[in-house]
Structure 1
Amino acid sequence: MRWIRAAGRGLLVAAVLLAGYAGFGSEPGAQAPKDRGPMTLVTAGDLTHYLGPLLDDWNRGHPEEKVTLVELPDSADETRAQMISELRSGSDRFDVLNIDVAWTSEFAAAGWISPLDRDAFPLHTFLAPVVDTATFDGRLYAVPYVTNAGLLYYRKDILERAGERPPRTWDELARQAKTLAPKYRLDGYAGQFLPYEGLTVNATEAVHSSGGSILRDDGARVTVDSVSARKGLEFLAGGIRDGWISPRARDYKEEESRQAFQDGRLLFLRNWPYVYALANAPGSKVAGRFGAVPLPGPDGPGTSVLGGSNLAVSSRSRHPQSAADLIAYLTSERVQRKVLTEGSLPPVRAALYEDPALVRAYPYLPTLRQSVLAAEPRPKSPRYDQVSLAVQAVVQDVMALRQTPQQAVGRLSRELGSISRKG
């Protein structure tokens, strides 16, 4: 999501609430297309302050459909809680929600957001995997706004000195982290291993990279008890057991892990694209001395989890026609370019990743595009919050070496089965 505060650059705008939507004309209870008016957009802390100017441009051209920006806390968990509180109350205050991609299924199943007309948006111009994050039960419930995929950051200077290339497989990563890092008094590898949403992301990436899955059929089928899933969890447990993942990494979220890499304390880091600019900024101890590649897997490039956010229309929206136009504006190629250049957020429009001027300014774009195209969503479920908490608890025990991967997938299968039977 997270947009978690760091992926929060990866999730910077956690909730957009507006009114009006053109794609509702064929839905039961839809308001008339002429229904237009002012809207409210709520976000989880616009840390780069790019959104206000974008909305100012909209407001100048749409004086009768002005958007009011409301910012919620930076934390995605707090933003989600406040959004759900309003939605459960039946309030029509929120019109369009910019939701973490992992929330789409939950919000759709609860009836808080309305299905959208696929033909109202040029989805064929988006990076293909991001569209899947906006669907539930075979229907489109949101429009992709910002995407994200995990990258492997590495100390280019150290690998070059050792005559090594960046790792493409888990074995190569483990070997280099185990043998090279100690020579430079560095920790070998870190991700986001504190028990929060970041641990769910890292564990899901390990399971998917090994060919496994956690849930299928929008949460109806539990698939985690498999050889592939065990192999993915063994990758994480083995790193702790063999020492190339430091125990201190179990306390890292996005920012703690970024700071460790940026301060020159890590050889390898799994994190989101926002790290690239910060690690190259003045004052960074690794500026100009690192690179980024796709996440490794067992036999070659692995599978990242898709991060980012989607724009959805509240089922209580008062002005759906206006909301549709605003969503189209925010996802247009012109505005998506500004989302990247002014907001430091990865856009969803495919063409921007091959724009020569943008690639010169943001050298990681081709790598990010490759990672996004190979990425998969987090497990889809109407009770995603419970699914994520179960994954965190089990994987925390695996990484603390309190439970074997084989025991863990059995336990997780039972817990997820219980969650899927609820309601």
Structure 2
Amino acid sequence: MHRPLLAVLAALALAGCTAGAAGEAETGGAEAGRRDGSGPFTLVIGRDTTSYLQPLLDRWNREHPAERVTLLELPEAADEQRAQMVANLQARSDRYDVLGLDVVWTAEFADAGWIVPLDRSLFPLDRFLQPVVATAVYRDKLWAVPYTANAGLLYYREDLLAKEGFTPPRTWAELREQARALHDEYGIGGYAGQFLAYEGLTVNFAEAVQSAGGGPILSRDGTQVTMDPAGAKTGLDFLMGGFREGWIPPESLSYKEEESRLAFQEGRLAFARNWPHAYGPATQSGIAGKFTVTRLPGLDGPGSGSLGGTNLALSAYSRRQKSAVEFIRYFTGLENQRRVLTQGSFPPVWAELYDDPALIKRFPYLPVLKQSILSATPRPVTANYDQVSLAIASAVSNALTRPFEESSGDVVASMRNQLNEIIRAR
């Protein structure tokens, strides 16, 4: 499976020749000397909330005792992960070797020279889900390798819907009706997503806009605000209406992924928007056998989720780049990807795993998830993504916190102005 050592070193030498603005600035001799480094290295990634990751790393360590990987866990929230990574990379520290990047960070990290381009021929990208591969490519170069895919799903209490004679909601109107009815009948929250003012709220808003026909928010090259004001207003009205009417509980304003996962699996929600990783823990909870998932609903039919996931990139300041690249090849390989699903409930990036009958029997949501990933919309591709996300999350948070006072149209207009200013400042 592995290419000859000489080929790997040659690929690293070629990749390491570029850094800085989309990899165009030359690196110095010290950095060049790191490219053939081997030995113990680190993987830095967001907190493992399901405890699946260390056993997978232990497998690598047993097979590569001289190249042991140490797990460095960052906070759960993507914003906090990014802040800690950026602080390390700006200091040109060699503490981080393999970086677990949110799929929206590729352009920013590449432009800054914090990661190095990789040789496409080292990885079987043609067997991966192609929308996910696209998140790792920037200016026609491969800057990372997809590790997990992701798309938002609607979790729902199948038992409660059956009792009330409901079918899974396909539209917002159906979701609203059912969430209100279940809230009134069973005294539980109707629906929740990730509504704290952070990256998760940006995702939830983007999905609402896309599902109302108002997306994408930015053009593919990140140079224009393409969000349709009418569609964005409709999407924001859907969320604000839920808070005004009470079927979205006010406590969800503090929810990130983990809080919303726990609320659903503890039986406090009838519906919840979350990523696929929440499925596994729920099967071990008190609602096991009582829930399932479907595609996110939209204005007139199935909605459009946001494309998420994690890519593995190589720090430009790593002193163990040879070992790090071999690890990335191993960790994104087919068999390890199978373990990512079976042991962690995280969506793999290999397309064929979604069609495996044995896996579908164990994870019956796989066909829905594959469809959701293939129909998902990427978040804005821009080196200023952090500022874009902050502007969106702040505006939407203010609207959801004050749903009786804020005008959705005014919020959208102000947001568009802010986004235009961010783009022009680039």
Query: What TM-score do the two structures reach when normalised by structure 2?
Result: 0.87
Q: Counterparts of 2:292 and 2:15 in 1: how far apart (Å)?
A: 48
SS in 1 for 2:422: helix
TM-aligned CA deviation for residue 64 of structure 1: 4.7
2:284 corresponds to which letter in structure 1? Answer: A
| Further displaced range: 63-72 or 121-130 | 63-72
Q: Could you report, residue by residue, the CA deviation over 1:368-419 in whole angstroms, capped at 9, with x for unpaired residues?
A: 2221111122222212221111111111232222332221221111111111
Q: Counterparts of 1:177 and 1:189 in 2: how far apart (Å)?
A: 6
TM-aligned CA deviation for residue 29 of structure 1: 2.0
Q: In structure 2, do the counterparts of structure 1 residues 51 and 193 end up closer, same or farther at CA, with 3 Å as the change threshold?
A: closer
| Further displaced range: 224-233 or 289-298 | 224-233
1:204-219 superposed matches below 5 A? 204-211=206-213, 212-219=215-222
Kept after mapping to 1: 8 A contact 2:222/2:380 = yes
Q: Counterparts of 1:308 and 1:22 in 2: how far apart (Å)?
A: 29
TM-aligned CA deviation for residue 315 of structure 1: 2.0
Number of the residue aligned with 2:253: 250
Q: In structure 2, do the counterparts of structure 1 residues 68 and 290 end up closer, same or farther at CA, with 3 Å as the change threshold?
A: closer
Kept after mapping to 2: 8 A contact 1:186/1:265 = yes
Q: Which of 134, 139, 162 is matched with 2:136 structurally? A: 134
Kept after mapping to 1: 8 A contact 2:192/2:249 = yes
Kept after mapping to 1: 8 A contact 2:152/2:274 = yes
1:318 corresponds to which letter in structure 2? Answer: R
Number of the residue aligned with 1:239: 242
Q: In structure 2, do the counterparts of structure 1 residues 412 and 61 end up closer, same or farther at CA, with 3 Å as the change threshold?
A: same
SS in 1 for 2:154: strand
Q: In structure 2, do the counterparts of structure 1 residues 51 and 259 end up closer, same or farther at CA, with 3 Å as the change threshold?
A: closer
Q: Could you report, residue by residue, the CA deviation over 1:107-136 in whole angstroms, capped at 9, with x for unpaired residues?
A: 112111122232321111111221122122
Q: Counterparts of 2:190 and 2:199 in 1: how far apart (Å)?
A: 23
Number of the residue aligned with 1:416: 419
Number of the residue aligned with 1:147: 149
1:213 corresponds to which letter in structure 2? Answer: P
Number of the residue aligned with 1:229: 232
Report the count of equivalent residues. 402
Q: Counterparts of 1:339 and 1:90 in 2: how far apart (Å)?
A: 31
Consecutive unaligned residues in structure 1, runs of 5 or more? 1-19
Kept after mapping to 1: 8 A contact 2:12/2:35 = no
TM-aligned CA deviation for residue 240 of structure 1: 2.4
Q: Which of 259, 262, 265 is matched with 2:265 structurally? A: 262
SS in 2 for 1:43: strand
Q: Counterparts of 1:69 and 1:396 in 2: how far apart (Å)?
A: 33
Kept after mapping to 2: 8 A contact 1:193/1:253 = yes
Q: Counterparts of 1:324 and 1:29 in 2: how far apart (Å)?
A: 16
Number of the residue aligned with 1:29: 17
| Further displaced range: 76-85 or 107-116 | 76-85
Kept after mapping to 2: 8 A contact 1:125/1:351 = yes
| Further displaced range: 99-108 or 41-50 | 41-50
Q: Counterparts of 1:413 and 1:34 in 2: how far apart (Å)?
A: 43
Number of the residue aligned with 1:7: none
2:38 corresponds to which letter in structure 1? Answer: G
2:243 corresponds to which letter in structure 1? Answer: I
Query: What TM-score do the two structures reach when normalised by structure 1?
Result: 0.87
Q: Does 1:220 align with 2:223?
A: yes
Greater helix percent: which structure? 2
Q: Counterparts of 2:343 and 2:189 in 1: how far apart (Å)?
A: 33
TM-aligned CA deviation for residue 225 of structure 1: 4.6
Number of the residue aligned with 2:388: 387
2:389 corresponds to which letter in structure 1? Answer: S
Q: Counterparts of 1:123 and 1:100 in 2: how far apart (Å)?
A: 18
Kept after mapping to 2: 8 A contact 1:187/1:244 = yes
| Further displaced range: 383-392 or 402-411 | 402-411
Kept after mapping to 2: 8 A contact 1:22/1:325 = no
TM-aligned CA deviation for residue 214 of structure 1: 1.3
Kept after mapping to 1: 8 A contact 2:388/2:422 = yes
Q: Could you report, residue by residue, the CA deviation over 1:14-62 in whole angstroms, capped at 9, with x for unpaired residues?
A: xxxxxx8764444462659982412322233344444334334334444
Q: Could you report, residue by residue, the CA deviation over 1:228-265 in whole angstroms, capped at 9, with x for unpaired residues?
A: 22222222122223333233332322233223322323
Kept after mapping to 2: 8 A contact 1:204/1:305 = yes
Kept after mapping to 2: 8 A contact 1:104/1:136 = yes
Q: Counterparts of 2:54 and 2:188 in 1: how far apart (Å)?
A: 41
Number of the residue aligned with 2:27: none
1:45 corresponds to which letter in structure 2? Answer: R
Q: Counterparts of 2:262 and 2:51 in 1: how far apart (Å)?
A: 22
| Further displaced range: 360-369 or 409-418 | 360-369
Q: Does 1:190 align with 2:192?
A: yes
1:196 corresponds to which letter in structure 2? Answer: Y
Kept after mapping to 1: 8 A contact 2:106/2:138 = yes
SS in 2 for 1:146: strand
Q: In structure 2, do the counterparts of structure 1 residues 324 and 387 end up closer, same or farther at CA, with 3 Å as the change threshold?
A: same
Q: In structure 2, do the counterparts of structure 1 residues 52 and 21 end up closer, same or farther at CA, with 3 Å as the change threshold?
A: farther
Q: In structure 2, do the counterparts of structure 1 residues 46 and 265 end up closer, same or farther at CA, with 3 Å as the change threshold?
A: closer
TM-aligned CA deviation for residue 339 of structure 1: 1.3
Number of the residue aligned with 1:397: 398
TM-aligned CA deviation for residue 267 of structure 1: 1.8
TM-aligned CA deviation for residue 272 of structure 1: 1.6
Q: In structure 2, do the counterparts of structure 1 residues 160 and 57 end up closer, same or farther at CA, with 3 Å as the change threshold?
A: closer
| Further displaced range: 257-266 or 268-277 | 257-266
| Further displaced range: 312-321 or 85-94 | 312-321
